Amino acid sequence: MSFTATRRHWKDFGSHLEVRKHFLEITRAVRSSTLDLGRTHYALALAIGVWEAICCGYGEIAAVEMGVASGNGLLSLCKAAHFFRESMGIDIRVYGFDNATGLPTVDGYRDHPELWEQGDFLMPDPERLRRKLPPFAELIIGDIADTVASFQTTLRERKLAFAAIDVDLYSSTLACFQMLEWAPECYLPVVPFYFDDMEEFFPYNEWCGEELAIREFNDAHPRRKFQRHPRYNIRHFFGLHILDHKMRTGEERPLFPLRISGI
């Protein structure tokens, strides 16, 4: 059994109820495997981002994977983005960040040296991966601590609507979080996030790795907060709440209320 999506341009929805009905059909098809959009947790989280963007009236958005390695995740994200581009006409661009040389120096207990070592997850052939990417995707090679700064220009033009963090180390996660320091106009009011490296292995804990980076970020940012959203039943799913976004402060109104639930 396969799912055939009804094509509907994102500007043609007349109410939040119409948007909700459409997205519930899509997400249920993803969960039942009648619609194959690659990795389920990527597809569902991106669907929430697209749903929210439509309710906000944003037609240009960005989806990011930090830590690409072999490229399977990035290609999966492209598959989901292609579906929403083709079926709704929303302009999604996909960006993958990686140094192509594997994990950098593992620096102390917070980076889980009992699990990882420098050079793990080497990207075999960046140019071969680039050739597999669709025209709306870009692979950005270099130390994330250096390359992420230029991404601010991109997010001035399109809102961050989904990010997958798969960099394994506490120190590398902090480098990724540089992209969360910019003006609220760079983001959706709540940005869907997937974090790969938590819970799976027994040594994971809240004092190391991605969980520590999240906690420290929350402690340091009164109006930017990560919160886990387990009720959506999406693997390692968080929302980054941009509490200084104009739609959160009441300075602007969304096109439709952001009543996103039930997927």
Q: Between helices 16-31 and 40-56, what is the axis angle to 10°?
A: 170
At residue 144, the pLDDT reads 93
The structure tokens 């033009």 sit at 157
Q: Name, in order, each residue with C-beta under 8 angstroms of 3's C-beta and a sequence gap of 6 or more.
A: 26, 29, 34, 35
pTM listed for this prediction: 0.95
Identify the structural domains of the chain with CATH numbers, from first to last: 17-249 (3.40.50.150)
Give 68-92 pLDDT, tens digit per residue: 999 999 999 999 999 999 999 999 9
CA–CA gap between residue 58 and residue 52 (Å, rounded): 9
H helices within the chain, ranges in order?
16-31, 40-56, 72-88, 126-132, 144-147, 151-157, 170-176, 209-220, 246-249
CA–CA gap between residue 92 and residue 136 (Å, rounded): 7
- The ranges of the chain with pLDDT < 50 are 1
The structure tokens 């249920």 sit at 28
At residue 9, the pLDDT reads 95
- Report residue 191: phi and psi, to 5°: -100, 120
At residue 2, the pLDDT reads 56
Largest CA distance in the chain: 53
Dihedral sign from CA coordinates of 121, 181, 256, 157:
negative
At residue 263, the pLDDT reads 87
Are 67 and 121 spatial neighbours (Cβ–Cβ below 8 Å)? yes
At residue 198, the pLDDT reads 87
At residue 199, the pLDDT reads 83
CB-facing half-sphere around the CA of 61: CA atoms within 13 A: 34
At residue 1, the pLDDT reads 42
